[in-house]
Amino acid sequence: MSRRCSLAGLHLVQPRRSAWLCRASLLLVAAATLSVASFATNGVEPIDTSLQARARGGADVAIGDSALSQVNNPSSLANFRRPSFDFSGQVCFPTARWESPIDECESSVRVIPLGNAGVALPLDDRTTIGFALHSKAGLASQYRMRHLMIPWIERDVGADAKMIGLHFNIGHKLTDRLSIGFGVRGEVATSAFSMVLGPLDADFGRGYAYGGGFQTGLMYRATDDLTLGLAYRSPSWFGDVSGGQMKASLLGLLPVDLGPGRIESLRLAQKVTAGAAWDATDWLKLVGEMRWINYGNSSFDTLTVATDGALPLRIPLPMGYQDQWVFAVGAEVKLDEHWTWGVGYNYGTDPVRRSSLLPMGSTITQHHITTGLRYQRDNWWVGVGYILGMRASMDGGGYSRVPLGVDYGLSRIEQTQHSVLVGFGFSW
């Protein structure tokens, strides 16, 4: 538990709390302008939300030392004894190279900013409410290349998808050792993509969908030095991703407007997370975490693209995501009274089936090395960090589940990712 979270007593009159709540809300809105597509670290999700957690490999469910920890485990809010605001920013520098049977190129997506912000507001000594804005997930890629059945033209293929959630949570301390939490969230998803299916090419204009879900969790302090955490995030249920226009052409000629397009009944993955944090000494904390992300029962396995124009169509698009297991281990070292250094490792099983290799969505970074350094006073902190998504590659194996996706079964992708982290927070 951070020093800030362990301070006791809330001595604020209501007008002062309201003023700070307004300021924090404005900062949340400002952070939304930074919330754009993630280049998908764990499948389609960043490895975590706060700078503190990212620095130690993404482990957070049994610690809760940031107002952003409520995104993963609402019960962590019960740790807070003073109103607090935390911000975490991340700038990703992805390098992805695609090799097809007749061409090769690098994705033009070079820099991707992300932003998260959270507020914790204690109601009394045992109950705290919180709000958080979270860049939950996304995909980003853009290639310009020739294709096997349309070799005479270069064609843009790729995707830009974003999922952003606004969370409201409550954490309550049942006993001095056991805390529980529950929350709900509203989410916005948006997507646009362009792809080639054999002799056909198609564009899906930007569409939007609105939905939500819930999350719950608990934290248990088994001993004075050992804390356990368990959390569940429900699926996110949406309607159709609609509002964009569909266009298609045959052999790159005579593009046809297919009318309004939509992705039917978007559903995002549910997640279960368990972890532990051990204060080995006064200056060393060791953490570990395990997650199950149920991509296999989400739209990232198979989604359906439909058109509502003069020629109604329903096209299955197998993204090919399967259930993923993620393992994170890390450590925090207190260098002195104010400086803390974090280091960690994050591994995720491959969420993408090679038979569904696609330039618009495949992400295969599995190994991440993380580190971060932060400086903390009684009522504020600031920090920086770095994540290396180690080089990885995947090939289609000669077969593609994608309709007319001959190119993709014979293609290969190679990816590396660097991320620079910044964060700050304060309490009052």
Exposed/middle/buried for residue 153 (C-beta within 10 Å: 0-12, 13-18, 19+): exposed
Domain that residue 204 falls in: 3-427
Question: CATH no. for residue 64?
Answer: 2.40.160.60
d(CA 411, CA 358): 9
Distances (CA, A) of 55 to 270, 293, 341, 366: 24, 21, 8, 17
pLDDT of residue 15: 39
d(CA 126, CA 8): 11
Q: DSSP of 372-387, one letter per residue? A: EEEEE-SSEEEEEEEE
pLDDT of residue 26: 37
Amino acid at site 55: A
d(CA 144, CA 286): 45
Element (H, E) at 393: strand 380-395
State the alpha helices, DSSP H only, in 252-317.
none
pLDDT of residue 36: 36
Q: Which pair of structure tokens corresponds to residue 145? A: 């290349």
Q: What pTM value is reported for the model?
A: 0.86
Q: What is the mean pLDDT of each run of 10 residues along the chain (428 residues)?
A: 34 39 38 36 78 96 96 96 95 89 86 90 97 84 89 87 93 97 96 88 92 97 97 96 90 86 92 98 97 93 84 82 95 97 95 85 81 96 96 89 87 91 96
Task: Work out how many domains the chain is built from and give that number.
Answer: 1
